[in-house]
Amino acid sequence: MVRRGEGLVLSLGDGHKFTVTVDNAESAVRAIRARLKVRGTSL
């Protein structure tokens, strides 16, 4: 499926990249960062 609009790219630890299309990329980045901090991982 191809979707147009905002998106974000997650760079994984193994060098791969994962692209996600979302309705609100800015909010998605904030949510992911908050979730990673809870788990003890910093960006």
pLDDT of residue 43: 52
pLDDT of residue 27: 87
Strand ranges, E, within the chain: 7-11, 17-21
pLDDT of residue 24: 84
- Whether 43 and 34 have beta carbons less than 8 Å apart is answered as no
pTM of model > 0.75: no
Please name every residue paired with 21 in a beta bridge, in sequence order, or none if there are none. Answer: 7
**Is residue 1 pLDDT above 90, yes or no?**
no
Please name every residue paired with 20 in a beta bridge, in sequence order, or none if there are none. Answer: 8
3-42: pLDDT as tens digits: 677 777 888 889 998 888 888 888 888 888 888 876 655 5
Task: Give the residue extent of every domain in the chain.
Answer: 7-38
Token pair of 27 as six digits: 């909010």
What is the distance of C-alpha 42 from the center of its chain? 14
Report CA torsion sign: 1, 30, 36, 10.
positive
